[in-house]
Homo-oligomer: A and B are copies of this chain.
Amino acid sequence: MSDPFVIIGGDAAGLSAASKFARENPDGDVVVFERGRWISYAHCGTPYYVKGEVDRLTDLLSLSPEAAEERGIDLRREHEVVAIDTDAQTVTVESSGDGESFEQPYGNLLVGTGAHAITDPIPGSRRDMAFTMHGLDSAAAVRAALSPSDEAAVDTDIEYVDADLVEKYADREPPERVAVVGGGYVGIEMAEAFHAHGLETHLFQRSSHLLPPFGEAVGERVADHLRERGIELHLDTAVSELAGGDSVETVVHEDGRVSVGLALVGVGIEPNTDLLSETPVELGESGAVAVDEYGRTTAENVYAAGDCAEDRHAVTGEPTWVPLGLTANRAGRAIGQTVASDPEPVGDVAGTAVVKALELECGRVGFVGDESARDAGFEPVTTTITAGSRSGYYPGGDETTVTLTADRGTGRLLGGAIVGRDRAAIRIDTLSTALESNLTVAELERLDLAYAPPFSPVWDPVLVAAKVLRGELD
């Protein structure tokens, strides 16, 4: 009998791979080692759990351990892989339950170790009442910290919640003023969550715009909207310390200090690759694991996928690191298929991302704005337009702002961003599809897109932007 398919990490990439493998090769063995208690959870849902729109942590689980077992997956939670021997084709596993350690041979190995939130650049980020949003336990802790001490917002009877952590925060009175450090996805989503709890919310962003990968037009509209709704923005403001005693008490920044009862740090994530440092598995320039179009690393029979791995960019064909949910699921599934039977490419990434900022919907894809496109070797031209989301006479529409970037030499679309209240985010899929199909701006302009007064004007905002940009390319 051959050695099993061994998977390190029981989240999106790992369990997608295990599920696909088990379905395609029911006689094969697949073992998943997960160092924590949670598996397969929707990281992107945690801000909405904190906000209260999602009732229970378990609502965020895509797959229960029981369901994984039913699929034929040998799932070992609280089992940490601490070493990989790519010559012997074994991994060393430590069980945090019984403290025992053992060697596990593998036929194929998938590294799906994910990523972790960066905190260290901000001194004091490890104080009590300072949090990152990376994992369900931290989400539970933040929700507990926001809830009145006589209200059990978090059900510690749920099997795997870290009850000690939750209870530590559940007994406190909730803060009145909070800080969010970082104006990316997590920062914006958490600011929305805190604002929904009625807290005085201060958002600190080091650079001059929120959501930098979405370009300036989106950043400015989101900033205006957040301010209108009463969120205090501190742009161009680097936080130097989260000061206090045991708990965070003060955000110290270059222009002053703000007293807060809670701080959420969302300044980015890093791939978990420490485990690979003693192996021949190479990392790419991004610091994530280098892989080919089938998710294969530089070591034989070793694959990597999800937030720890690079992808190939749809526009440049070059490696890139875009740690998001769909690509993790998709790459895992493709690798499960490849290991089980026929090779299946993991697919390129276009850098598609969408985020909700209170009432605003934001989307982006590819290279947005001249700077990033120039860095990628193009001669970019960028335009930004604003157009209605519906026919002007039809109620309920909103001004939709579209930024498009194209290459002057070839006329090829390089990227774009969209923001507005009415069906703005989902419109980015038009641009993603166009980008992955290598359309020029002239071809984009001639697309036969939907028109009906309740949903879109005759010229969809995407078409208006293409029309204007094409004029600038000529």
Name A's B-contacting residues (CB within 8 A).
12, 42, 44-45, 48, 53-54, 59-60, 62, 314, 324-327, 329-330, 345, 347-356, 361, 363, 365, 391-395, 423, 425-430, 432-434, 436-437, 439, 443, 446-456, 458-460, 462
Contact = CB atoms under 8 A, between A and B. Distances in A.
Most buried by B among A330, A345, A447, A448: A448
A211 to B, nearest CB: 13
A427 B427 CA distance: 7
B446 A330 contact: yes
Contacts of A329: 458-459
Contact of A430 (B53, B59, B347, B433): B433
B45 A453 contact: yes
Contacts of A42: 391, 393, 453, 458
Most chain B beta-carbon neighbours within 10 Å: one of A349, A425, A427, A452: A452
A448 B48 contact: no
Number of copies: 2
Nearest to A322: B448
Contacts of A345: 446
Contact of A433 (B325, B354, B433): B433
A338 to B, nearest CB: 14
A352 B349 CA distance: 27
21 contacts: A42-B391, A42-B458, A44-B452, A44-B453, A45-B453, A48-B454, A53-B394, A53-B395, A59-B392, A59-B393, A326-B451, A349-B448, A350-B447, A352-B450, A353-B450, A353-B452, A363-B450, A432-B450, A433-B439, A436-B443, A437-B437
Contacts of A393: 42, 45, 48, 54, 59-60
Contacts of A327: 448
A390 to B, nearest CB: 10
A159 to B, nearest CB: 17
B451 A324 contact: yes
- Rank and list the top 8 A-B pairs by shortest CB-CB distance, nearest first: A437-B437, A347-B446, A433-B433, A59-B393, A350-B448, A354-B450, A354-B452, A429-B430
Contacts of A460: 429
A22 to B, nearest CB: 16
Contacts of A447: 350, 429, 432-433, 436
Contacts of A430: 429-430, 432-433
A432 B453 contact: no
A62 B348 CA distance: 42
A452 B189 CA distance: 11
A458 B394 contact: no
Contacts of A350: 447-448
B432 A449 contact: yes
Nearest to A389: B426
B426 A458 contact: no
A361 B455 contact: yes
A66 B60 CA distance: 58
Contacts of A450: 352-354, 363, 425-426, 428-429, 432
Contacts of A394: 45, 48, 53-54
Contact of A448 (B351, B427, B449): B351
Nearest to A451: B326
Nearest to A189: B452
Contact of A451 (B60, B354, B448, B451): B354
